[in-house]
Amino acid sequence: MTQPIPFMKMHGLGNDFVVIDARAGHAVDARLAIAMADRHRGIGFDQLAEIADSDAGDLHLTFWNSDGSTSAACGNATRCIAAWHMALSGQDTVTITTDRGTLRAERSSDGVSVNMGAPLLDWADIPLAHDTDTLHLPIAGDPVATGMGNPHCSFFVDDVSAIDLAARGAETEHHPLFPQRTNVQFAQVVGTDHLRMRVWERGAGVTLASGSSSCAVAVAAARRGLTGRSVRIDLDGGTLMVDWRADGVWMTGPTAHVFDGVWHG
């Protein structure tokens, strides 16, 4: 049995997380992430967020997927932890460093907003396996590639409810054009600034929501001329607002701190 590890359980629109404060001496590794992720024998989560000290911000976050792999970005977890930190500190803003870069979050009338940084649009930065047009990938369905610190492949379809998300998502995640695998989104245009989206997350599978995926789809839709740069995105778990500004892609939505517990695995 391992040493007991305190944790927090949070979610953003049902996109759920375990949060461990490594500043208390409880470091995370792939084995621990996989054990905690088990929804029958562990706690269950889409991602695990590990908090550490930061020389350039209020705190540093490392993100673990449920399969034990890591990701440089996780927008909903970033918003949830920002809300927790601001509640403890009394601050209205928080600066968070990640492998994606330094992110700024702030209180909003609609929850918490976070600047996820500028999107990566060049094939080598996303990354893709070779030089290709990121706005029209050579994949059936004509998807768009976007980097938000993690790779994304966005399909625009007439009806997201008609998509076999598990089958299409799993197949696309491992497409050879994406050497680091990819998150997969299927989105339909509801209105000029309104999208409906479903998500398959790299290393996690079908999720009710995804912050970085929402940012990627908003950028892809704007680049395609399907929407403006500020959009409402309805996911299976709820609604996020995404605004692609000059200083980065801002995402706003609700957060939930569900419970605190201790892992005895």
177-198 in b/e form (b: 16+ CB < 10 A) is: bbeebbbbbbbbbeeebebbbb
Distance CA 93, CA 84 (A): 11
Comparing CA positions, the residue from 108, 113, 120 lying closest to residue 96 is 113
For residue 39 the two structure tokens come to 């929804």
Distance CA 213, CA 204 (A): 13
Does the annotation place 210 within a ligand binding site?
A: no
Does the annotation place 185 within a ligand binding site?
A: no
Is residue 150 within 8 Å of 125, Cβ to Cβ?
no
Does the annotation place 202 within a ligand binding site?
A: yes
Does the annotation place 47 within a ligand binding site?
A: yes
User: Which residue matches tokens 């980097």?
Assistant: 147
Does the annotation place 238 within a ligand binding site?
A: no
Q: C-alpha distances in angstroms, 151 versus 22, 41, 89, 100, 147?
A: 27, 30, 33, 11, 5
Does the annotation place 76 within a ligand binding site?
A: yes
Is residue 137 within 8 Å of 129, Cβ to Cβ?
no
User: Catalytic: which of 74, 80, 153, 215?
Assistant: 74
Name the DSSP letter for residue 22.
Answer: G
Does the annotation place 15 within a ligand binding site?
A: yes
Exposure of 43 by Cβ count < 10 A (0-12 exposed, 13-18 middle, 19+ buried)?
A: middle
Is residue 226 within 8 Å of 127, Cβ to Cβ?
no
Does the annotation place 201 within a ligand binding site?
A: yes
**80: annotated active-site residue:** no
Does the annotation place 75 within a ligand binding site?
A: yes
Does the annotation place 90 within a ligand binding site?
A: no
Q: In this structure, which amino acid lies at residue 224?
A: R
Residues annotated as binding site?
A: 15, 47, 65, 75-76, 150, 183, 201-202, 211-212
Catalytic residues: 74
> Which residues are documented as binding site for substrate?
15, 47, 65, 75-76, 150, 183, 201-202, 211-212
